[in-house]
Amino acid sequence: MSPKKQEEFKVICQNKKARFDYELGERFEAGIVLYGTEVKSLRLGKANLVDAYAKIENGEAFLVGAHITPYLNAHYGNHDPLRKRKLLLRGQELRKLVGKVAERGQSLIPLRLYFKNGLAKAELALARGKKQHDKRQTMKEADAKRELSRAIKDAKS
């Protein structure tokens, strides 16, 4: 038997604000259709997902609002940094997402971009927006966790 091929991950960027602003549900992995200059920029880590979201139009998924900085060494044919990019999902996943996103309050939010075995991928999550009091509760929990870890660290030294 041949050894199993090990998957390699290289994270390009993460959307940390999504974990604060949304209650995250089911997650999906999608490929992204990119131009050559976009791939080169991603390899340099020049991407931002802060205001990005995924949208389903005519049975296809698109990544909207993701900023990929233009590649500096491209002489011509550079890409638009905020263009709409097609996401590659399985038909079964796409049909499931169409129904879920149609529900009131559900959004499809990208959590991170990464390279998996040399291919650019996006991790998407079904998300529901948090209310202001939920965000305050999340901040309180994070502060309590931070204080606890400081106390443990001080007790050890």
CATH superfamily for domain 9-130: Small protein B (2.40.280.10)
Rounded CA separation 33/89 (Å): 11
Residue 27 identity: R
Place of tokens 């959590």: 111
- Residue 35: which residues within 8 A CB-CB, separation 6 or more? 77, 79
To which H or E segment does residue 7 belong?
A: none
Q: What is the pLDDT along the chain (157 residues), one digit of tens a residue?
A: 445 566 678 888 898 888 877 888 889 899 999 888 888 888 888 888 888 888 888 889 999 988 888 888 877 778 788 889 999 989 888 888 888 887 777 888 999 999 998 899 999 998 887 777 667 777 788 888 888 888 888 888 7
Is residue 89 a contact partner of residue 100, using CB atoms and an 8 Å limit? no
